Amino acid sequence: MYKTKIDLSEKVRRAVITVLNERLADAIDLQSQVKHAHWNVKGPQFIALHELFDKISDVLLEQIDDVAERITSLGGTAEGTVTVAAKRSKLKNYPLSITAGKDHLYYLSTQLAVFGKAVRAGIDDTAKLGDADTADLFTGVSRSIDKYLWFLEAHLQDKA
């Protein structure tokens, strides 16, 4: 731990950093899965999905940066390598063989839902630890994930 004048105890900061690093791993994994879908989507909705997946990837990259910077501001180390993310991520492996737009939508919406649930748990966990700022950061991430989950699911909801 690095020294900081943030008025949270070292014990609280360590616990919050653990939660943040867990979500950082998930976010890095998720962003790479979304980019994989962006590169490999095929079908009649190609351009719309290609662009949507790219937008989601960009949003996730911003969130990754915010989470990592919160870790370091609390005196921790942002453990954000691909190797670490692969070991820690709670997301399922993304099927590399799919190409159809609907299949990508299904898998990505499932992964976003899993990530969103973990982020909401992070809101509760960090609030209980007394770190309202990290809980607020997670709230913003959650709101954004829910929005893009809606965008993905809207493509799958073709019944009136």
Low-confidence ranges of the chain (pLDDT < 70): 160
pLDDT in tens, 64-83: 999 999 999 999 999 999 99
Contact between 70 and 114 under an 8 Å Cβ cutoff? The reply is no
Pick from 97, 95, 119: which is nearest to 107 by CA?
Answer: 95
First CA to last CA across the chain, in angstroms?
54
Quote the DSSP letter at residue 94.
P
CA 100 to chain centre: 23
Q: At what angle do helices 10-40 and 132-156 cross, to 10 degrees?
A: 20
Domains of the chain: 10-155 (1.20.1260.10)
What are the angstrom distances between the C-alpha of 20 and each of 46, 49, 88, 144, 160? 34, 30, 12, 17, 40
Full-model pTM: 0.96
Angle CA 62–64–65, to nearest 5: 65
The pLDDT assigned to 68 comes to 98
The pLDDT assigned to 144 comes to 98
The pLDDT assigned to 160 comes to 56
